Amino acid sequence: MVLVIGHRGARCCAPENTIPSFRLALETGVDGVEMDVHMTRDGEVVVIHDDTLERTTTGSGYVKDHTLRELKGLDAGVKFGSQWRGVKIPTLEEVLRELGSRVSYVIELKHGSDLDPALKGEASGVGSRYRRLRRCLGSLGVGSATSLSLNTAVTSTQALRGRLSTL
C-alpha cells in the first residue's frame, strides 16, 4: 500500500508547518502529514522545521531560546507571501486539535538537541490524548506502526527503520 504524506503540510502552496498548510494538504486528499517540532525555552512543543527563526518567520535566533509567547508574536506566513500575513507558529497540540482524527501523523523531533528527551516525553504526552495517533506512519517507506512515530532526525532508511522498530 502506498500512502501519501503532506511533507510539512502543503508547503508548495502555503507556509510550511502551519495550520493553513496542513489544512490545504488535507484538502488535496493526503493520508497523513509530516511535521517537525522543537521545544521552546518555557517547555512548549512548537511545529517548525528549522532550529532558527529567520528563514520562515519575522523573528531571529534559535527556537529554543524563545518562549511560546514570544514565538506567537512572530509572523510565520508573510515570508511565503503577503496573503499569508498573520499566520502563527502552531503548537503541536494546536495542530493535533485542528486536524484531529482525519489524518495520520509523522512527527519529527529536530536536531537531536539536549532537549530531545524532554521533547519526546512532551510530544508523547500530547499525542496520547489523540486516538488516531495509534496509526502513525514511518517515512521512507517504513509503513505504519501502532504508536506515535517520534523520530529524531536521521539520515538513512536503515537508521530510521531501526528507530521505529524500538518504539
For residue 98, give the H/E element and its range: helix 92-99
Angle at 101 between CA 96 and CA 105, to 5 degrees: 60
For the segment 65-101, what is each residue's pLDDT rounded down to a tens digit?
999 999 999 999 999 999 999 999 999 889 988 888 7
Instruction: Please report, in angstroms and rounded to a whole number, the separation of the first and last CA atoms in the chain.
Output: 22
pLDDT at 136 over 80: no
Q: Which residues, in sequence order, are bridge partners of residue 38?
A: 46
Distance separating alpha carbons of residues 61 and 51, to the nearest angstrom: 8
Question: With 60 as the cut, is the pLDDT of residue 34 above it?
Answer: yes
- With cut-offs at 50, 70 and 90, classify the pLDDT of residue 2: confident
Q: Which residue has the cell 531501526?
A: 162
pLDDT in tens, 23-33: 999 999 998 89
Task: Cell numbers for 167, please give them.
Answer: 518504539
Q: Is 17 or 160 the better-scoring residue by pLDDT?
A: 17
Range with lowest mean pLDDT among 11-15, 17-21, 73-77, 138-142: 138-142
Which fold is adopted by the domain 5-133?
A: TIM Barrel (3.20.20)
Q: What are the extents of the domains in the chain? A: 5-133
Region 94-110 average pLDDT: 83
Residue 7 is among the residues annotated as catalytic for this protein: yes
Q: Among 41-45, 48-52, 126-130, 144-148, where is mean pLDDT lowest?
A: 144-148
Which cell numbers in the block locate residue 33? 502529514
- Please tell me the predicted confidence (pLDDT) of residue 89: 98
- Which of the residues 7, 38, 66, 111 is marked catalytic? 7
Q: State yes or no: is 49 an active-site residue.
A: yes
